Amino acid sequence: MEIASSPVTLLILLITVVTSIMAWNDASLFNRFILYPYQMARDKSWYRTVTSGLIHGDTWHLAFNMISLYSFSSGVYGLENVMGSLKLLIFYIVSLILSDLTTVLRHKDNPAYRALGASGAVSAVVLASILNNPDSKLIMLMFPVPIPGWLFGILYIAYSQYASKNAKDNIGHEAHLWGAIVGVVLAWIMSPEIRENFIAFLQVKGIL
């Protein structure tokens, strides 16, 4: 598939990078944008499900998410090509919101909990891209040899499920998990071409 320009992907990248840098230098902006379930349950500041995806903890956090977003959305799979610019923008915003909802519900009575970053929406993009091209080969840091995209997707969801219940680190595995699930469901609903590509993959594999 030919990869065309990706205006929406680049727009998301630009807004996220600029907003993250601004928040690093403005504590009041940072505090207004961060996902804070305890506060949200009391003042109904639901906008944070979107704004928390526009800020990041540090340069590495920002770089990893934005490189992943670009690589899967336009640089590798051309997700914007198959969904269209407007659909991709809606897909990304809805994924930000839905991937955060379980976190908000789980931590609404915990005044110490806060979260930030675009990982939920990026996970949605990754899984939607894999759904579009499930037989693609991926090389990841933890896998020194190429693995099929469909296998990576299964492993990613399985690990995120396990880590959301057992990991004691500072990573939002729950947002990763729900972002991945949302990505698959929304891509299936919003893009006939992605559905057709995945069904064709299943037919080639003799599953359908």
pLDDT at 34 over 90: yes
Single pTM value for the model: 0.92
| CATH code for the domain of 12 | 1.20.1540.10
Cβ atoms of residues 126 and 183 within 8 Å: yes
For the ranges 66-75, 151-160, 166-175, the maximum mean pLDDT occurs at: 151-160
Percent of the chain with pLDDT over 90: 74
pLDDT category at 173 given cuts 50, 70, 90 is confident
Lowest mean pLDDT among 27-36, 81-90, 164-173: 164-173
Helix residue spans in the chain (DSSP H) = 7-24, 27-33, 37-43, 48-51, 59-70, 79-83, 85-107, 119-132, 149-166, 173-190, 192-204
Q: Is residue 48 part of a domain?
A: yes
Q: What's the whole-number mean pLDDT along residues 164-180?
A: 85
pLDDT tens digits, residue range 151-169?
999 999 999 999 888 877 7
Model pLDDT, residue 1: 40
Report residue 12 CA to chain centroid gap.
12
Kindly tell me if the per-residue pLDDT of 6 is higher than 90: no
Instruction: Determine, yes or no, domain membership for 153.
Output: yes
17 pLDDT band (50/70/90 cuts)? very high
In a domain, 147, yes or no: yes
Predicted confidence at residue 172, as pLDDT, reads: 82
Total number of domains in the chain = 1
Q: 89-145, pLDDT tens digit by residue?
A: 999 999 999 999 989 999 999 999 999 999 999 999 999 999 999 998 887 666 678
Whether residue 200 lies inside any domain: the answer is yes
Q: Which of 1-10, 59-68, 69-78 has the lowest mean pLDDT?
A: 1-10
Assigned domain for 2 exists: no
Task: Considering only residues 137 and 51, tell me which one the structure prediction assigns the higher pLDDT.
Answer: 51
At 75, the pLDDT band (50, 70, 90 cuts) reads low
* Residue 177 counted as domain residue: yes
Find all residues with CB under 8 Å of 6, minimum gap 6, and list them: 70, 73, 74, 80
In a domain, 1, yes or no: no
Residue range(s) defining the domain that contains residue 106: 7-204
* For range 73-92, the mean pLDDT: 87
Backbone angles phi, psi at 4, to 5 degrees: -90, 180
Residue 178, in any domain of the structure: yes
SS3 label, residue 53:
helix
Tell me which of 73 and 118 has the higher pLDDT.
118
